[in-house]
Amino acid sequence: MQKTSCPALFIAAPASGQGKTTFTAALARLLTQQGKRVRVFKTGPDYLDPQILEQASGQPVELLDMWMAGDDWCQQKLYEAALHADLILVEGAMGMFDGEPSSADLAARFNIPIAIVMDVKGMAQTAAAVAQGLVNFRRDVSVAGLIANNCGSDRHRQLIEDALPESLPLLMALKRCENMALPERHLGLVQAHEVRGELEECFEAGAQLLQESGVMQWINKIPNVDFYPKPLPELTLNLQGKIIAVAKDEAFSFIYKSNIQLLEKMGAKIEFFSPIHDTQLPEADALWLAGGYPELHSKALSENTVMMAQIKSFHQNNKPILAECGGFLYCLKTLMDLEEQEYPMAGLMQGKGAMRGKRGCQGMQMAPLPEGDVRGHAHHRSRSFDTPEPIVHGVRQRHSAHGEAIYRQGSLTASYLHLFFPSNPDAIADLFSGKNTPLENQTVSREISHAG
């Protein structure tokens, strides 16, 4: 098996909110400024961080998740990136050992050294103790060193460095810098296209800070990692000649590039449209209403009655529709936003949606669709009620409780779940082809095994 080699670094942390994305984006921008080709990957299901990292690096950003995407998928994607990149950066998710599989699992599987980013505000020697605990928790991970974020002074840096063993170097200490902080909202970072100019300022400030902090002294010493090819099964052209209209605008943007690429590789033509701004639905054989932030644009969505009428007609003509999370909310009768203002939505199915502040639902789940099992995840801070009976529920990765409800109303398949299409290409092709007889108000009776 022919391998290829490329320097690679995994950016992990003891918890969320330590500055992983800020650091990764700043480093990608600095190296890009120096003419290097940097390929960035994001661990786990995430739509917002990849947008940020893609703008910073100028290169496409894909997810790596060994449960949702599969081990082979991750291996092949890393190999393809290594063929052309000068450096591969992988940003972890949550804490270093959180989740199954965790960031540490992914780094260990592909032998990628880890740089631990830690917000050290309010501690000194304790930061060294926490870092050593992470290093010693497992023997199969390789840690390159510690990056002390939000370091208050040279003395602060010295206290941390003196407390670290020689085997765990302090790679760098980053001073507190408000100019490189990335904007956020209730589900995480703000979408890149909303604040493109502001992000550019953050990237430039971050790149300058990294350079002044001496990042290149150790980045240039990152060792090569061997990556091996893992050819994936050939796709059949099950969607040859099909046109799929995909909602994409300020309200609907939670779209994995890998999902679009899969549809195109199976022969589909993609037509993007805006439920907010457009008054004409593209001529299409199927429709995908992706997730996003409809609650932030519910008034504008409700006022585009022409578009909602066309989508309703599309549904009445029994053409396949997939609605995920935000797209699912758009298909209900009404949606109440964070200010408790209620607006009419497309009304493809009974039910109402309402935002619920900080509380929410998230986690990996498998969708046992009539077409086949498709893996995905849920992440929302809204609730739906007065809906019809679901045909089935999602199966949680590590828990026996019911997952998200999945509805089949005529040709509409709707759920809070975000699906990762490459986990079952044939099922996705059947879904968008409308091969199954509508199962409205019926339940899937086949045996469902626990997703593990």
pLDDT of residue 47: 82
Are 239 and 435 contacting, i.e. CB atoms less than 8 angstroms apart?
no
Q: Which amino acid is at 318?
A: N
How far is residue 64's CA from residue 447's CA, in Å, rounded to a whole number?
Answer: 29
Report phi then psi at 5, rounded to 5: -125, 145
Identify which of 174, 206, 198, 184 has the alpha carbon closest to the alpha carbon of residue 49: 184
- Judged on CB neighbours under 10 Å (0-12, 13-18, 19+), 267 is middle
How far is residue 149's CA from residue 117's CA, in Å, rounded to a whole number?
Answer: 7
Catalytic residue ranges: 325
- Is the pLDDT reported for residue 359 higher than 80? no
3-state DSSP assignment of residue 260: helix
pLDDT bracket for residue 193 (50, 70, 90): low
Q: What tens digit of pLDDT does each residue of 95-134 get?
A: 999 998 999 999 999 999 999 999 999 999 999 999 999 9
Question: What does pLDDT average to over the chain?
Answer: 90
pLDDT bracket for residue 228 (50, 70, 90): very high
Identify which of 424, 395, 385, 389 has the alpha carbon closest to the alpha carbon of residue 407: 389
- Is the pLDDT reported for residue 188 higher than 80? no
Domains of the chain and CATH, by start: 4-227 (3.40.50.300), 243-433 (3.40.50.880)
pLDDT of residue 435: 82
Q: Calculate the CA dihedral of residues 311, 313, 319, 323 and round it to 10 degrees.
A: 30
Query: Could you tell me where the DSSP H helices lie in 110-178?
Result: 125-137, 154-163
334-336 and 352-355: which strand pairing?
A: parallel
* CB neighbourhood size of 23 (10 A): 25
pLDDT of residue 337: 87
